[in-house]
Structure formats: structure tokens, C-alpha cells
Amino acid sequence: MNLQQVRQLAQDETTAPEKLRELANSTDSMVLKNIVANPNIPPDVLSKLAAQFPKQVFDNPALDLLLLETPDLFFGKAANALCSLLKREVPIKMIEYAANSSDERLKLSLLMNTKISPEILKQLSQSKSYQVQETTALHCNSTNKNSTNNHQEFIQAKIQQEELQSDKTYQEILRNISSFIKLDENLPLPIERKKSYPQISLSEVEKLMEQKKSVFDIASNPNISVEIINKLLEFERPGSHDIGWRIAFNPSTPTVILEKLARSSYHTAVHNAIALNQNTPVHILEIILNNPSAMCNYVYAALGRNRKLSDSHFWQLVNKFSDARISVFNNPSASKHLKEKLIEAFKKGVYSPLHKQFISGTLIIPISKDHPHEFVNNLFIPEDFLELCVDEAIIKYQYNLDKFGKKQSSTLGILALHPNITVISLKKLLAHEDRLVRRNAISNCKTPQYITEVLGMSFLENLNRDELKILASNFYATEELLRKLVNHQDISVSSVAASNPIVSNEVLEEWETSPYYREEALSKIMAEEQTLLNRWESSISTSNRLKVLLNSETPVPILAKIFLSTSWLERYMITQNFNTPFPIIQRLAEDSNQIVRAAANTKLLDKQ
């Protein structure tokens, strides 16, 4: 029997259940798809295949009878795939199944669908779950039209209630999230490694000192008392600073100790630690700024990065070292006037031996080697200055290649990521010989539009598989570009494009008709999408999730992945975050929730 005959047999409604069970061992997706839609399918086989072909389950004419035999048909991977499907345009049978289900996740996913009728909403309003009731009342198709202008107090009350319950620091939560969301493969944000410390007494510390054992780790312990801190400082050898900088960086160190260290002639590593300590008050930062013993490039750079300082402090810093000028320039707290003056100084290219300027008189590119993300997030940088920086970086790249045979592409790679990059610069970077530079230029938010409107789709032929996947995952990819990429013959490329959070239902439907499409591919992507959201919800408390979504430094991948959350409050938070990509805001402007939709539309008006 050839493959075509097997497919017909799997589709034939007269085929015996046991024969269908036998055929279910096939690796051909069309055979399996036909079996799922066959009314004679054994219930256990249907349960096995439901996760791969959830759509086809609802095409089965005997679905009602099959559900009587297997009421928990959709669970595990099958439920994950169904949750994602329900957020899109789906058959009425699927909507009715979710509305009647005892699974709250299915109901909340269904409530993200803008096509559900007032009758279904009325049914969902009778749910015992408060979250389902609240979400139903705020649905865009609800007969009870809520005034979205009067919900600010309601939202703020919910946020404040959750904030009080937050039990972890932002970095702790971010570290947890990074275990299941790739934050940014091009430009990872630094995530501090935090360890747990035990309670320790003064007598225990003194005993360790008597035994001449290491006490460095104790200095970082947030549970130590003032007595222990003073004892540790007395114990430190003259000329050493290993204990001092750990105490200076400890967020629990009292202000009186920090002030004592700030006035001291300790090694500059101690002053640097005080400048980096998030709990250091402004008056102590001022002491370091005016302490001759703290005069050091990296100490002033750390001060320039501190958002507690004002312009008067920043003016002092910019006259110190060039690294301080760079950190001040990229500090969101610095004024526009100050940044404009700094650009003039960068253009003059004042030579600084400490900064190891390439050639005296050349342009200074304000990128910190250790904090490159600050430059990328600095939206103040004007386009004409960026063009100068790109040209300067290209010259330096070529100089190092010709003279030393080294490809130093890090600076160019960072410049390629900046959202204010011009088309002139983008053209140079997309054609650059260095792979890192090209990859970063491809992931730039302006690149998809540039390819669509200027370079044309033929440009895609110049890209390798990895570069195509980067482009396919770009949150600013145009509809035309995604349509082209989902129809790519390489399944790894088309799957990435189909996984892009901004991809439309129309493009996904087109993907399903592509000659290169694999039948179970979309269901697999949807199951993975929901698995990620399940992990987000199960491993992080509601209050800690809101803390991340509200934070202005939250990496874009988190906002883009979580905007499909079934929590309308979380989606609202994403509309309020400055880092949320514009296409995500556009999608949220069509959200099923009245408040989310109104908030997103307000954002769109602000951007115009």
C-alpha cells in the first residue's frame, strides 16, 4: 500500500477503529491529521494526537460523543496548544468547548479573543472564578460597557496591593526569568549572581579571626551587625581592601559606616563600591566626588552612572575623566543641555591617555566597554552624531585589521543596535564583512522596514540561515517580510517567523498552506508559547511579575513574550513600559480588554 492509499484509508469513515490505531504509528503528518478528524478514532488515540492537531480535533463530526468518553481530552501539551489557539480566530465548537470547560486557563485564554459573542460572555460571567468574572466584565464585546477613563484608581489600587506583597529584588526575579526566556543574545544585560547568607554572631566571627580563616565572604553578608562590620575593618591588613570594598558594596551597611569609608583614603575599589551601592545616599556620593583619595577613572564613571545625582554633580564629573563623561552622557538623569555639550566635546575628540584614545583628535564614541546597553538605551543620541560614530568605528575597524590583523567589531556591533541609526549607516552595516556587525544590524528595529521599502525581498538571498532567523524574530518585522519568511523552505526559518509575537493570524493561515509546511508545526509553536507563559505564572508570584513589567530597565524579550499573558493587568503594565516595542503596542491597541485597548491607543497617540 503506497502513502496515498494510507492517507485515504486514514480519512475513510468506514475504516475500523483498530485499523486507525495501527495507522497512528505512521510518521506522515497527513495520515495522522486524517485519523484525528475520523469519527472512528479510538479515544485513547485521539488523546495522544490532540496536542499535535488540536484544530483537527474540532473538525471531527463525532466530537461530542468522543468528549463524553474522554472529558479531559485537552490536558498537558494538548491544553497548552488549545490555550494559544483560543486567543485567535477559531471555530465556534472550540469556543463552546472552552466556555464549558472546568479549566480556568482555557476560559481566560478564550477571553483574549475579540470575536466571542455576548452570549458566551454572559455564560462566562457566571463563573465561580473572580478573575474570569472580572475579565469578562471588561471584555470589548461585553454589553456592560465600562468607562475606561475611570479605571486609574482601580488599577493603582490593584498595583499597590500587589507591590506590598513583593518579596524579591528586581535582579532576583530577572535571574529567575532568564532561566526560561532568552533575554537578548546580542546584548545581554548584566544579571548579578546573588547567594544566600546565614545568620552569624560576633563571637563566631572572632573565632574565625583567631583561627586566621578567611572572613571575606562575611563582609558581603547582609545579616551582619555594626559590631561585626567594625571588627572586620579592624581585622583588615594595612594596604588591603578586600574586606573594605565588600562592606562598601553591601546593601545593608549602615550610612554611618559608608560615610566613614567615603572619607577614608582606602583603595579606590572601596569608593567605587560605595558609588555602585544602590542604597548609598546622595550626601555620601558627594563626599566621594570631593575626596582626592577617590580620584580614579572608574570611580568617577560609577558616579556618573548613578541616577540619584543631579546636573550640578554631573558637571563636576565631566571635567574629570572621559569615562565619566561617557557614563554621564548615557545616564537618563542627565539633562538635554548637558548631553548636547558632551556631544560637542566628543566631536572634538580630546585625547586622554587614561581613555586610551585611538588617535589624538579623533571622535570619541561614547560607548562604555562594560555597560554597552546604556548607549543602546540612550534615545537622546541624534542621528547625525550616530552617523559620525559609525564612520569613525568603520575607520578604526579597518585600521586595526590592516595594522594588527585583528577584527575589533564590538563597537560597530553596538552602534548597529541603536534605534536612532540612519538608513545611510544601516546600509553600510548590513553590508559589512564582520558577522557580528551584520547580525546586529539585521536585528535593528529599522531594518525590516528598510528591507521592505528599499532593499526589496531579493536582499534575503544574501543572508544565511542564522541571519534569516534573526530577521524573522525581529519584533519590528513587517507583514510582508513575515509572510515571505514563513513561506521559506527552511523549516527552522519559517518556524522562527511563525513564533514572532507580532505575527498575524492571516500570515499563520498562509503558512499552513505553504508547500514547505509541516502539519504539526503550528501546534508545536503554540504549545511552546503557552508552556513559557505557564512557567512565568507558576514560578513567579503575581506581585513579582508586576514589579518586572513596571521596571523601565526590563529587557524587551520579556515584554514581547509576556504580552500574550491571560492577565489583563499584566498586559496593561506592558502598555505602560517605555521599552515595549511599538508593534506590540499596536497589537495591544486591538486587545480584547477595554482598559488595555484604551491604554495602548493612548500610547499610540502620544507617539504621533
User: What value does the mean pLDDT take over residues 40-57?
Assistant: 87
Number of domain units in the chain = 1
User: What value does the mean pLDDT take over residues 200-220?
Assistant: 85
Percentage of residues in the chain having pLDDT higher than 70? 94
User: What value does the mean pLDDT take over residues 12-25?
Assistant: 92
pLDDT of residue 350: 55
Give the phi and the psi of residue 112 in degrees, each rounded to 5.
-90, -5
pLDDT at 575 over 90: yes
Task: With respect to residue 18, please indicate whether it lies within any of the assigned structural domains.
Answer: yes
Ramachandran category for residue 378: left, alpha or beta (phi over 0 → left; psi -120 to 50 → alpha): beta
pLDDT digits (tens, 9 = 90+) for 396-435: 899 888 888 888 889 999 999 999 999 999 999 999 999 9
Residue type, 177: I
Q: With bands split at pLDDT 50, 70 and 90, how would you rate the model's confidence at 195?
A: low
Residue 508 burial by CB count (10 A; 0-12/13-18/19+): exposed, middle or buried?
A: middle
Task: With respect to residue 273, please indicate whether it lies within any of the assigned structural domains.
Answer: no
pLDDT of residue 357: 45
What SS3 state is found at 511?
Answer: helix
In 140-192, which ranges are continuous DSSP H helix? 152-163, 170-177
pLDDT of residue 199: 84
pLDDT digits (tens, 9 = 90+) for 21-39: 999 999 888 899 899 999 9
Task: With respect to residue 270, please indicate whether it lies within any of the assigned structural domains.
Answer: no
Task: With respect to residue 352, please indicate whether it lies within any of the assigned structural domains.
Answer: no
Q: What cell was used for 358?
A: 585611538
Task: With respect to residue 12, please indicate whether it lies within any of the assigned structural domains.
Answer: yes
HSE on the CB side for 128, CA within 13 Å?
Answer: 4
Task: With respect to residue 544, please indicate whether it lies within any of the assigned structural domains.
Answer: no
* Residue indicated by cell numbers 526566556: 181
pLDDT of residue 150: 66
pLDDT digits (tens, 9 = 90+) for 58-82: 888 888 888 888 877 887 778 888 8
pLDDT of residue 189: 45
Task: With respect to residue 216, please indicate whether it lies within any of the assigned structural domains.
Answer: no
pLDDT at 186 over 60: no
pLDDT of residue 147: 57
Length of the chain: 608
pLDDT at 289 over 60: yes
For helices 152-163 and 542-550, give the axis angle rounded to 10 degrees: 120
Task: With respect to residue 320, please indicate whether it lies within any of the assigned structural domains.
Answer: no
pLDDT of residue 361: 54
The pTM is what?
0.80
pLDDT of residue 164: 66
Q: Distance between terminal CA atoms of the chain?
A: 63
Based on its alpha-carbon atoms, the radius of gyration of the chain, rounded to whole angstroms, reads: 29
Mean pLDDT of the chain: 88
Is 138:593 a contact under the CB 8 Å cutoff? Answer: yes
Distance between CA atoms of 81 and 83, rounded to whole angstroms? 6
Is 440:413 a contact under the CB 8 Å cutoff? Answer: yes
pLDDT of residue 55: 81
Q: Which helix (H) or strand (E) holds 380?
A: none
Q: With bands split at pLDDT 50, 70 and 90, how would you rate the model's confidence at 601?
A: very high
Is 357:335 a contact under the CB 8 Å cutoff? Answer: no
Helices (H) and strands (E) in the chain, counts: 40, 0
CA angle, 128 then 129 then 134, to 5°: 115
Distance between CA atoms of 471 and 481, rounded to whole angstroms? 9
pLDDT of residue 191: 44
Per-residue exposure over 452-473, b if at least 16 CB sit within 10 Å of its own CB, e if not: beeeeeeebeebeeebbbbbbb
Distance between CA atoms of 330 and 342, rounded to whole angstroms? 10
Q: Which of 153-162, 172-181, 198-207, 586-595 has the highest mean pLDDT?
A: 586-595
Is 347:363 a contact under the CB 8 Å cutoff? Answer: yes
Q: What cell was used for 289?
A: 566626588
What SS3 state is found at 446?
Answer: coil
pLDDT at 351 over 50: no
pLDDT of residue 349: 75
Cα dihedral 414, 385, 315, 554 sign: negative
Q: Which domain holds residue 132?
A: 3-153
Percentage of residues in the chain having pLDDT higher than 90? 56
* CA 443 vs CA 420, 473, 481, 536: distances in Å: 13, 8, 13, 25
